[in-house]
Each structure stands twice: as structure tokens, then as C-alpha cells.
Amino acid sequence: MVPLELLVSMAASGILIGTAVLSAVLIVLLKPLLVRYALARPNARSSHRVPTPQGGGIAVVGACLLVAGAFMWNTDLPANGFLAVAAASVMLALVGAVDDIRPLPAVPRLLLQVAAVAAVVVASRVRVLPDAVPLAVEQALLVFGGVWFVNLVNFMDGLDWITVAEMVPVTAFVAACGLLLPDLRPAALVAATLCGALLGFAPFNKPVAKLFLGDVGSLPIGLLVGWMLLELAGTGALAAALLLPLYHLMDATITLLKRLARGEKVWEAHRSHFYQQATTNGFTPLSVSGHVFGLNLLLAALAAITLIWPSWPVQVACLGIGAVLVGLLLSHFAKPRLKSPA
């Protein structure tokens, strides 16, 4: 008989490839409409220089949810958590689609995000903190963290390939964990489909990008990945769940704190993220995304170590090493590149 692990691995590979193909096909079909109705025109805060269609996230999120839903429909995987996150993701995609065409006021947009994240947190029923912490307090903290994560993924989606460079390693890692952690398999399935959908999107977004995700993609992707990381943390792998998105967490959070200290309106667009400073300082978009991708492979390796050796000293050490590695890259991005002598 074929071992169960091999069957699961083969199924995951087929799901990833199939979702990648579906995502690419949907992009080809949708692109004429996006060129006509959803052009992102450059401004002083943009990283692009020519009008570029946005809305590729429709294909990415659509392919992800369609394939994951079809697979769950034909298997005995529990779908309750998935149904909640899928519905919430569709809602955020609609919010993002409207915002891409005509920017929404900050307050209604935030309230809709809170509602979507709260629905996912309640449906997930995951406990991350010790049982001594009241459930209501923990869920409130998770909603706050989830809303921040959704927004930081949106904030960080401002450069060609950077979301692919961040989210492909994260989703691939969670998908692989499904081979070892049966309780994680619903989230691992969605991780595999989202990974495949992003790979299908990648050729269209490579520098210089011919297509952007748009808020219709970045907001639900933030919600989906946040849910996967919450489910991963619920298995006891909290350190791994923190390590995987650590570059995005540190870049966005440090930038927010610096802007708050300067008294800036943090809800307004800007170009002060470290990855944006890097392009100003002489890094090409491909170089920035390449650095982020390489760092994320190292963070994934540290996350794997915390799963193999789950003692708290190892987890603390890996988190410390991860924070140092991210700090070094942020510092590297913040410094102008030395020009080679003529």
C-alpha cells in the first residue's frame, strides 16, 4: 500500500499545480477588464511609474477558495473553520474591490475588517494563551492582532513580487506542516491552494509588473494567512507562527511606531517602509524581493527547528535569531547602496 503521507504529499502537489494554472487562466481572462476599469495610476508615493492594472487578487483569492472548497466538499476534512474564513475573505475582497476603484473612508473600512477578523477568530476556537487568561480577553487580543495583520499585509503590498516573496514561503511551510499535524490539515489545504494561486500570479507581477494584486487581493490574503498562522499556533507552534511572517511584522510595526512618533496620519499613504526606503537607496525591486525571499527561507528554517525541538530555550533562541536577521536586513535597506567606482 502507498503510505498515507505520500498520498497526502502527492495530493498537495497536484492541488498546488492545479491552483497555479487556474489562477493564471483567470488572470488572462480578467486582465482586459482590469486594464479598462482598474488602472492604478502612479503618484508621488507609488513604486511604479506607468499606469498598471490592479485586481489580480480576484484570480488569486478566487482560485484559492474554489479549489480548497471543491477538495473539502469531496473529502471528510472538517470545513467549519474554512467556511467562516472563506466568507470573511470574500467580504474583505469586496471591500478591497470598492476601495481599489473609489477609496473608502477609514472608519467603515476598519469596522468591516474587525467584523471579518472577529468571525474568523470565533469560528476557529483556537486557544493560544494559557487557560488562566479568560477566553473573551484572548479573543479580543486575537481580533486586534488579526486586524493589524490584515492591514500590514496590505501596507507591505507595495512593490513588485514582494507579497509573493513573503507569502509563498509562509504558505508552503504551513502546507508542509499538514503532513505532520493532522489537526492542521484544513488550514494546510488552504495554504497549498493559496501558495499555488500566488505562483500562478507571480509571472504577471514580476518586475516590471504588468499586474498588481490590489486591495481586493491583499486584504483577504492577509486574513487567510493570519488564519493559517492562528491554526498553526493552536497546535502549540506559537514560535513558528511568529517567525514565519516576522519580516512583514517588524517592517510594518516599526514603521508605524516611527510615524506615530512623528505625529503623522498613519492611515494615509506613504513611502517610509523599509522596503520602500530600499528602492530609494538604490536597490532594484527584484533585489528587494530577492532579499525578502531569502530571509523568509531562513525564518522558515528557524520555524522548522522550533517544531523539531519544541523546548522553550530553543524557541526563544530561534525567535531572537530571527529578530536579529530581520533587523540586519531592515538596516541594510535603510542605508544607501555604495556605487561601484567608474
Q: Does residue 85 register a pLDDT over 90?
A: yes
Rounded mean pLDDT, 318-331 = 98
pTM listed for this prediction: 0.93
User: For residues 73 and 26, which has the higher predicted lDDT (pLDDT)?
Assistant: 26
pLDDT band at 313 (very low <50, low <70, confident <90, very high): very high
What's the Cα-to-Cα distance from 236 to each of 68, 120, 137, 308, rounded to whole Å?
Answer: 24, 19, 19, 12
pLDDT band at 169 (very low <50, low <70, confident <90, very high): very high
The grid cell for 243 is 517567525
**CB-based contact 23:192 (threshold 8 Å):** no
Position 2 scores a pLDDT of 40
Q: Does residue 102 register a pLDDT over 70?
A: yes
Give the closest residue to 185 by CA, choosing from 194, 193, 175, 195: 175
Rounded mean pLDDT, 235-251 = 96
Q: Among 8-12, 303-307, 322-326, whose mean pLDDT is lowest?
A: 8-12
Position 64 scores a pLDDT of 97
Q: CA 161 to CA 47: how far, in whole Å?
A: 12
Q: Cis (ω within 30 of 0) for the bond into 225?
A: no
Rounded mean pLDDT, 186-200 = 95
Residue 34: HSE in the Cβ half-sphere, 13 Å Cα cutoff: 25
* The residue type at 173: F
Position 42 scores a pLDDT of 66
pLDDT band at 7 (very low <50, low <70, confident <90, very high): very low
User: For residues 105 and 289, which has the higher predicted lDDT (pLDDT)?
Assistant: 289
Q: CA 308 to CA 96: how far, in whole Å?
A: 39
User: What average pLDDT does the structure give for the chain?
Assistant: 90
Q: CA 19 to CA 67: how far, in whole Å?
A: 7
Q: Does residue 51 register a pLDDT over 90?
A: no
Residue 132: HSE in the Cβ half-sphere, 13 Å Cα cutoff: 1
Beta carbons within 8 Å of 232's beta carbon, 6+ residues apart = 174, 177, 184, 187, 240, 241, 244
Residues in the chain, how many? 342
Q: What are phi and psi of 13, to 5 degrees?
A: -65, -45
Give the closest residue to 242 by CA, choosing from 299, 327, 185, 157: 299
3-state secondary structure of 48: coil
3-state secondary structure of 179: coil
pLDDT band at 1 (very low <50, low <70, confident <90, very high): very low
